[in-house]
C-alpha cells in the first residue's frame, strides 16, 4: 500500500478515487495476513475505500505498518 500511495504522489484521496471508480470489490489485509490465509475476504469497494484512509492514518504514526490491497471489477 505505501508503494501505491507514493506512486500517486502520496495523495490518498487520488488512490481512493481510483479504487472507487474502477473496481467493485476488494480485500484489505494489514501486514502479511492475506498471504498467510490465502483467501481474500471480498467486501464492497466503498467499505475498502473507507478502510484505506483509516489505515494510511495509522501508518503515519507507525511507518512499519503496511497493507495488502486486492481489488477486482
Which set of grid coordinates corresponds to residue 33?
495476513
Contact status, residue 66 vs residue 39, Cβ threshold 8 Å: no
Residue 26 is predicted with a pLDDT of 92
Per residue in 2-56, pLDDT tens? 566 666 677 778 888 988 999 999 988 766 555 555 678 899 999 988 888 787 7
* Structural domain for 13, as ranges: 2-72
- When divided into structural domains, the chain yields a total of 1
Q: Tell me if residue 56 falls in helix, strand or coil.
A: helix
Tell me: pLDDT of 63 over 70: no
Residue 4 is predicted with a pLDDT of 64
Residue 30 is predicted with a pLDDT of 65
Give the rounded distance of the alpha carbon of 19 from its chain centre: 9
pTM score, two decimals? Answer: 0.68
Region 56-73 average pLDDT: 74
Amino acid at each position: 500500500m505505501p508503494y501505491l500511495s507514493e506512486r500517486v504522489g502520496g495523495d490518498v484521496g487520488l488512490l481512493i478515487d481510483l479504487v472507487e471508480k474502477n473496481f467493485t470489490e476488494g480485500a484489505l489485509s494489514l501486514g502479511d495476513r492475506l498471504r498467510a490465509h490465502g483467501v481474500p475476504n471480498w467486501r464492497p469497494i466503498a467499505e475498502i475505500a473507507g478502510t484505506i484512509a483509516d489505515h494510511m492514518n495509522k501508518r503515519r504514526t507507525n511507518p512499519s505498518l503496511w497493507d495488502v490491497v486486492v481489488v477486482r471489477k
